[in-house]
């Protein structure tokens, strides 16, 4: 195995020397025209890269759509159940805490009647210390393909912080199913299914 890596390292070093030699020869012969050509190529490539890598707007995201479809359904079905207690803060689906991660990090803090807070672990600890009770959060999960549909799930958890340990316990969930509408050329919410322990 080490012989293979040694051979690969040798080839990589040889390729670097060849590229450096080529660049030196280009600059020695006609440096001004080479620089202009390189600048033009880089400018055109940067425009193309920007077009290709330009992120879709958040409102087109399946995760974003699934989050608000989940909040709407949870609020309608469970909004009247969760009362404030000595141990827990009542879940207000219109003012929800969402775990900040790679999926949710660029979502807006408000949409319609919903106002959201996105917190990482440090933010969750700070919030627990402030309210001194368990509180609920939503966590986004990677999308899954199920037959002709795509499923995006959000789980509701209760957060506590005791003895320097952040505890996040599963409570409920929402599975949002999307189907692709060929006529409209976009994904539409097909079904929202709630579940719980």
Question: Residue 99: pLDDT above 70?
Answer: yes
1: confidence class by pLDDT, cuts 50, 70, 90: very low
Query: What are 11's two structure tokens?
Result: 């080839």
pTM, full prediction? 0.67
172 beta partners = 156, 196
Q: Are residues 94 and 153 in the same domain?
A: yes
- Give residue-wise pLDDT tens across range 156-181: 999 999 999 999 999 999 999 999 99
Buried b (16+ CB within 10 A) or exposed e, 56-68: eeeeebbbbbbbb
Supply the range of the domain harboring residue 188.
58-196
| Tens digits of residue pLDDT in 29-57 | 555 444 444 443 444 444 444 334 434 43
pLDDT of residue 146: 94
Same domain for 151 and 164, yes or no, is yes
Euclidean distance between CA atoms 129 and 159, whole angstroms: 11
Are residues 13 and 96 located together in one domain of the fold? no
């Amino acid at each position: 195995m080490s012989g293979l890596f040694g051979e690969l390292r040798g080839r990589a070093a040889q390729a670097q020397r060849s590229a450096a030699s080529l660049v030196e020869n280009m600059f020695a012969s006609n440096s001004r025209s080479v620089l202009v050509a390189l600048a033009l190529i880089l400018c055109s490539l940067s425009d193309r890269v920007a077009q290709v890598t330009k992120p879709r707007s958040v409102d087109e995201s399946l995760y974003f759509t699934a989050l608000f479809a989940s909040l709407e359904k949870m609020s309608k079905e469970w909004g009247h159940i969760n009362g404030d207690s000595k141990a827990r803060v009542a879940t207000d689906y219109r003012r929800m805490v969402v775990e900040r991660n790679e999926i949710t990090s660029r979502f807006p803090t408000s949409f319609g009647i919903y106002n959201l807070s996105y917190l990482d672990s440090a933010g969750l600890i700070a919030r627990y210390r402030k309210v001194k009770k368990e509180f609920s959060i939503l966590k986004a999960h990677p999308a899954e393909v199920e037959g002709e549909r795509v499923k995006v799930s959000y789980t509701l958890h209760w957060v506590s912080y005791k003895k320097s340990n952040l505890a996040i316990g599963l409570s409920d969930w929402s599975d949002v199913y999307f189907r692709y509408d060929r006529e409209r050329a976009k994904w539409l919410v097909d079904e929202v299914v709630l579940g719980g322990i």
